[in-house]
Structure 1
Amino acid sequence: MKNNKRQFYRHPIKVPIRLTRIEETVPLSSKSEDLSEGGLSFYWPDFIPAGTHLQLAIPVEKQLFEMNARVAYSIKDESMGLFRTGVCFKDSTSAFRAKLAEEIIEIRDYREKMELLRGQKISEEDAAIQWIGRHAEAFAKLFG
């Protein structure tokens, strides 16, 4: 019996991503479905063979986080008519960039929620300080 236990926890996060097959030069766009330290998944209109090398980019604020990845699976979702495609990051730098992009997005979302709850504006810096104070230890454990 095969052990299907995940090595990394996946965080559901929907962010725009840009992908380019290494052998091609035209970037194409999609949205991520979830992200983990080891990779991410997204829906794609076409089958992408396992082992295909991709260059991924996640735009966050005014930065573009670029990562190298390899397709792990591409499975047709009949209800959507798309292929759920999972990729694994090819190196620790790519994994770190993905995690950093995720943290920036989480801080932005946290700021928006706190502004709604408090009924007042919160600076990006204050939101980041609060977020980091609550989550820095978990982030450090991943890459420390």
Structure 2
Amino acid sequence: MPSIAHKGITTVQAGLFIPAVCLTFLSLLIALFGHFNRPASLCASFLTFISFVLTLATFIVEIVANNELKSGVNDLHLSTITVTIGPAVWMTLGAAIALFLATCAYFLACVCGVGRSRRHRNSTEPMREKPRGWFGRRV
């Protein structure tokens, strides 16, 4: 592979894959410290979707580069050189699928998540338990 083509493909892959990794890590932090509330799930869903799109674009660039390299080697008619898709390409596809599933899970957590149950009490109805103060202590 010519060095110019190798440098271009590597630059495109780094420009797509590194931001996807950073956004995935950020959505992981939001999920860990967001305490399962809807705005945090919506933000994590949006970041994971962007990561999914970037990872899918990286996979497409890898497949196109592989096909171009394979056709270039086939044009040379050299039987000693073979071009195959390596495990890194399939790991990129697996990462894209996992990010899609994570996007769906975050979105479902945002839309179908359990909200707080709010029971409307009449002002004439007596309170059944004492109100709680800070840190769940009874007042």
TM-score scaled by structure 1? Answer: 0.31
RCO higher in 1 or 2 (8 Å CA, sep ≥ 6)? 2
Compare the two structures and name the one with the higher strand fraction: 1
Greater per-residue helix proportion:
2
Q: Which has the larger radius of gyration?
A: 2
TM-score (norm 2): 0.32
